[in-house]
Structure 1
C-alpha cells in the first residue's frame, strides 16, 4: 500500500484549519497529513498545538509555494510515495483525495484536481489569469491544461523529489512546462471546490498582478530553455 501525505499550507487559517483536518480524516483515513503553518499572525499555531495536529511551524512567512515545498521535503524525508497539495482555507474537498491518488497509482506523475474537465470555464474576471496561463502553456508545449492554477494536486515520489530538492523549481503553474519537458504525465480529474469562508488569501490584487506577470514570463521565456535534469 502506498504511503500518502496530505500537505496543508496554512497562513492565518485559524477559523478553518480544524474543519480541514476533520475533512481529511473523514474522507482519507489511510492518508497522513502535515500542516505547514507559514508564519501565521493569527491563532493558527495555538489551535494546531491545542488539537495536537501534525504541524511544521515556520518562523517566517515563506509564501504559498515555499510552504508547499517544505511539506514536500517532509514527505521525501519520511518515505511517502504520494503527496497531495491541499489548501488550508477549506476550499478543497477531501472526498476527492482518493480520486487523485488513484490517478497517480494508474501511472500519472502529476494529477490536478480541476474544476474544468467536464464543466466549462466561465468567462469571468477571476478566470482571465487562468485562461492566459493555460494558453501560454499550450503555446509552449502543445498540452492543454484546463485548470493550471488549481492548488489541489497529487504528485508521485519522483516529482516530490524534483520539487522538494530544487528551491528554483517550486510547484507552480509555470513549472508544469518543465515537468512536461521531462516527459512527466500530467492528468486532470474533475473536482468541485468550495468558496473560501474564512482566513486571508495569499493573493490580493497587487500580488495577483505580479504573480500573473511572473508566471507568463516564466512560461514563455524561462521554462522552455531550462536544462532538463
Structure 2
C-alpha cells in the first residue's frame, strides 16, 4: 500500500502515481544563482518561503494519506475538447491525433489550429477526418490558442485540454488532469524531467515562472507548460490581448486575479530534436513588455 502522495505548494492537486511517491527531491540546479535577486523579492510579495525552497532548491513537501492511490475513473468526454496550436508539425501531429481518438475523444472535439504552416500539417490532419482551423499566415501561438478556444465554444464544449503539437506531451497522462478537474478551473502540467530540458529554456522557464508568481501573488512553478486543462468559463472574465508565447502567462495572471482556482499536475515530458520556434530575444522582450503592463493594473 502506498501511503505517500506528493503535492506542489500553492493551490495544487495531489499526484496519485505511486512511481513518483518515494521521490522527495532536493535538486540544486546550476545557473539559478543568477536569479537570486528575484527570489529575494519573492519574500516580500508571495506566500511564505515556499517560493525560495520549492522553486530555487526544488524541495517538494509531502502529505500522508492512506488507502489505494490509483483511482480508475470513467469520465464523460462529451463536453471536453482538445486544442492543439500547430506550426510545421507534419511529423508529429498525426500520431497525437490518433492517440487522442484512441483515448476516446470525438473527431469534432479535437481542434487543430494550423498557424500558417508551410508543410503538410493541413493535409495530415484532414486525412484523419478532422476539420481544421487554418491561419493563412503565422500569427503566433497565442492567436492560435484564442481561435481554438472560440472554435471549442462554437462546438458546445465546456472544457478543453491544450497540447503542444511537437509530441512533447503524453496523451496517456490526461487521466491525471481529469482526476482533479472538479476542483480547479485551470490545471497546468508541471514538468518533472527538467534535467533533459535545454539549459537556456530551463533558465528562462524558471525566470518567467518567478515573475508571473510575483505578478499574480500566487506560486506558479511552471508557467510555460503547454499541457493544460481549462474550464472555458474563465473566458467569461478573462480577455486575452497577446498573440504569441506570452499568452500562456497572460492566462495564468488573469485567471488568478479573477479568483479562478489553479492547480498543477506533475507530468513527464519528451524532448525531441524537433526545431523550436521560440525566439529567445523577441519572445523575451514580448514577455517583459506584458509583465510591465501588469505592474500598473
TM-score, normalized by length of structure 1? 0.83
Structure 2 match to 1:187: 263
For residues 232 and 282 of structure 2, the distance between their equivalents in structure 1, rounded to whole angstroms, comes to: 31
Structure 1 stretches of 5 or more lacking a match? none
Paired residues of 2:223 and 2:249 also in contact (CA < 8 A): yes
Paired residues of 2:194 and 2:202 also in contact (CA < 8 A): no
Structure 1 runs (4+) greater than 4 angstroms displaced:
119-123, 160-163
Shift of 1:72: 0.2
Structure 2 stretches of 5 or more lacking a match? 1-75
Query: Which of the numbers 285, 289, 292 marks the counterpart of 1:213?
Result: 285
Query: Which of the numbers 249, 252, 263 marks the counterpart of 1:176?
Result: 252
Shift of 1:3: 0.6
- CA root-mean-square deviation: 2.4
Paired residues of 2:161 and 2:230 also in contact (CA < 8 A): yes
Query: Which of the numbers 225, 234, 246 marks the counterpart of 1:159?
Result: 234
Paired residues of 1:9 and 1:37 also in contact (CA < 8 A): yes
For residues 106 and 267 of structure 2, the distance between their equivalents in structure 1, rounded to whole angstroms, comes to: 20
Structure 2 match to 1:40: 117
Higher relative contact order (CA 8 A, sep 6+): 1
Paired residues of 1:34 and 1:71 also in contact (CA < 8 A): yes
What are the Cα deviations for residues 159-192 of structure 1, in whole angstroms up to 9, with x where unaligned?
Answer: 24456xx451564214422221111111110000
Shift of 1:27: 2.9
Q: Which moved more, 1:142-151 or 1:47-56?
A: 47-56
Alignment CA distance shift 1:160-1:193 (3 Å): farther
Alignment CA distance shift 1:113-1:38 (3 Å): same
TM-score, normalized by length of structure 2? 0.66
Q: Secondary structure at the match of 1:104?
A: coil
| Structure of greater Rg | 2
Structure 1 match to 2:84: 8
Structure 2 match to 1:23: 99
Q: Secondary structure at the match of 2:156?
A: coil
Shift of 1:26: 2.4
Structure 1 match to 2:216: 141
Alignment CA distance shift 1:80-1:87 (3 Å): same
Residue-pair matches, total: 216
